[in-house]
Amino acid sequence: MPRRSRRTVALGLLAASGVLLMLAALPAIAKRAKHVKEISIAAPTARTPTDKTDCIALSQAFYGHAKTLARRTKQSIPREFTRVVTNLDEFCGEEDFEKARISIDWMDTCLNNFTKDYNLGFCSRSKSYFCAIDPQSDGCLASQ
């Protein structure tokens, strides 16, 4: 009997060490899977939304892509981008898809130039943006 219990203990220790090795490897595997997932994320396509649900999905896709780019480049999401996303959400709620398209185009331009110098103005709302969204806005009227 003592032989059998030694074998049982040895097998038990072997199984336990195998389980511990597998558990230790899980974070590395999970991190690798997350990394692979991030690389395969494609940029959303700029287009005019067809309905409220589509508009909200586009808004979330663009914001998600901005978060991914920010994480990869170790930069923060520009404040202007967050403001335009908020405007887009309002336009989606109001079902104003023409203004939504203007915001989507602006976000697409910003994301396509995300790593370029901020001072170039790709991620800042310009007079043309304000005038396209609201011709009666202060930003548009002040320049006339």
How many Å apart are CA 93 and CA 36, to the nearest integer?
Answer: 34
Threshold 0.75, pTM exceeds? no
Q: Which is more confidently placed, 21 or 50?
A: 50
Q: Is the pLDDT of residue 36 over 70?
A: no
- The predicted pLDDT at position 65 comes to 93
Residue 92 CB partners (closer than 8 Å, separation 6+) = 49, 52, 55, 56, 59, 100
Query: Out of 56-65, 98-107, 112-121, 135-144, which region has the weakest mean confidence (pLDDT)?
Result: 135-144
Burial of 78 (0-12, 13-18, 19+ CB in 10 A): middle
- Percent of the chain with pLDDT strictly greater than 90: 33
In angstroms and rounded to an integer, the radius of gyration of the C-alpha atoms of the chain is 26
φ and ψ of 122, to 5 deg: -65, -30
Q: Is the pLDDT of residue 87 over 60?
A: yes
Residue 134 CB partners (closer than 8 Å, separation 6+) = 140
| Helix (H) and strand (E) counts in the chain | 6, 0
